[in-house]
């Protein structure tokens, strides 16, 4: 199990937007250069973040901006905006365990509650960290001249 890079790229995008907002229009090309990926990937993520109400985007080369106070955007908000998890589930269960096998017919009963507990713990931790917390750390490390 691994969360895709969409999540960390989305956080990267928000740090870039916030850091660069006073010095330039933050376009998908600028963001793609920082992330070192194709601008199409960035534009897809920007659209997802926009749909979630986290950012705004000015059409053309107007750039992106953060549309909410940083302390009101949690890592969970970002994760929810860009990760494609089936029915909110972090863990994808194999579809057809053998109902004739004593393990296969009981594996959901064995694991479901534990996996839900793990997912809830992760989500709780993600909700406790805001983009402002990330920017506080970033401000200590990033020195743009």
**CATH code, domain with 15:** 1.10.10.10
Q: Kindly give the pairing relationship between strand 55-58 and strand 63-66.
A: antiparallel
Q: Output the six-digit token pair for 115.
A: 């996996």
The per-residue pLDDT for 40 is 95
Count helices and strands in the chain by DSSP H and E runs? 6, 2
Q: How many domains does the chain have?
A: 1
The per-residue pLDDT for 88 is 66
pLDDT one-digit tens code per residue, 73-126: 999 999 999 986 656 677 777 778 899 999 999 998 999 899 989 999 999 999
User: Is-contact 19 142, C-beta < 8 A?
Assistant: yes
* Structural domain that includes position 70: 5-141
């Amino acid at each position: 199990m691994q969360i895709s890079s969409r999540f960390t790229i989305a956080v990267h995008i928000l740090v870039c937007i916030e850091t660069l907002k006073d010095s330039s229009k933050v376009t998908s090309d600028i963001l793609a250069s920082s992330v070192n990926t194709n601008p199409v990937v960035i534009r897809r993520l920007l659209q997802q973040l926009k749909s979630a109400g986290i950012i705004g985007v000015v059409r053309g080369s107007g750039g992106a901006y953060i549309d909410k106070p940083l302390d009101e955007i949690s890592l969970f908000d970002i994760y929810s905006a860009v990760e494609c998890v089936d029915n909110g589930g972090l863990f994808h269960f194999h579809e057809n365990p053998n109902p004739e096998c004593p393990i296969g017919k009981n594996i959901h009963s064995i694991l479901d509650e534990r996996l839900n507990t793990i997912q809830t713990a992760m989500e709780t931790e993600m909700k406790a960290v805001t983009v402002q917390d990330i920017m506080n750390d970033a401000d200590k490390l990033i020195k743009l001249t």
